[in-house]
Structure 1
Amino acid sequence: MVVNRDGPILVEGPVEVVDEDGTTTRSDRFVTAICTCRRSRTHPWCDTSHRRRKPAVEPSRSGPDDRERPTGEEGPRP
């Protein structure tokens, strides 16, 4: 099993997943990607929906010109 920080869990061989409601789903693929973001339309299998998630915003290291302007102010920044 391989756990990807921002992606699915990859499991080798045939896989059976038991959902919270007791439903069992099976995959006979050589490697199966199990969704961890819960955005997949084919849950519990990954459909790469995690790729559409926006990356976390990093703290700004820029100067005062990069601050947000008040509403209604138009035109280029000084």
Structure 2
Amino acid sequence: MPNVPAERRRVTLQRPGPLLVEGPVEVTLEDGTTMSSDRFCVALCTCRHSRIYPWCDTSHRRRAGADERRQADERRRAGERRRAGDAPRRAQPPPT
């Protein structure tokens, strides 16, 4: 088989984050474009926000930070509504 490497490659999954692959590597993109790297380890982007896709530029860190800030803001607003008495109330059963 022509695509069999001389030795096994190690791939490391990180959540959230890139896919770490021991190099050198050759990556074929969806459109058929081939990218290669001779580095000993490469980080492949899994979030698709990288400006240098398919290589990771740590854009996932900025996105994760923004998501965490948004969730914290939502929790803070929900707490303020509860304290102000604006929290949605559960429907009460009709009196019997």
Q: Which has the higher helix share?
A: 2
Shorter-chain TM band: 0.7 to 0.9
| Aligned length in residues | 68
Query: Residue in 2 aligned with 1:49?
Result: 59
Q: Which of these residues, 44, 57, 60, is aligned with residue 34 of structure 1?
A: 44
Q: Report the Cα distance in structure 1 between the residues aligned to 2:56 and 2:33, rounded to whole angstroms.
A: 17
Q: Which runs of 4+ in 1 moved over 3 A?
A: 58-63
Unaligned runs of 5+ residues in structure 2 are: 1-10, 87-96
| Alignment root-mean-square deviation, CA | 2.6
1:65 aligned onto 2:77: no
Larger radius of gyration: 2
TM-score w.r.t. length of structure 1: 0.73
TM-score w.r.t. length of structure 2: 0.60
Other structure's SS at 2:67 match: coil
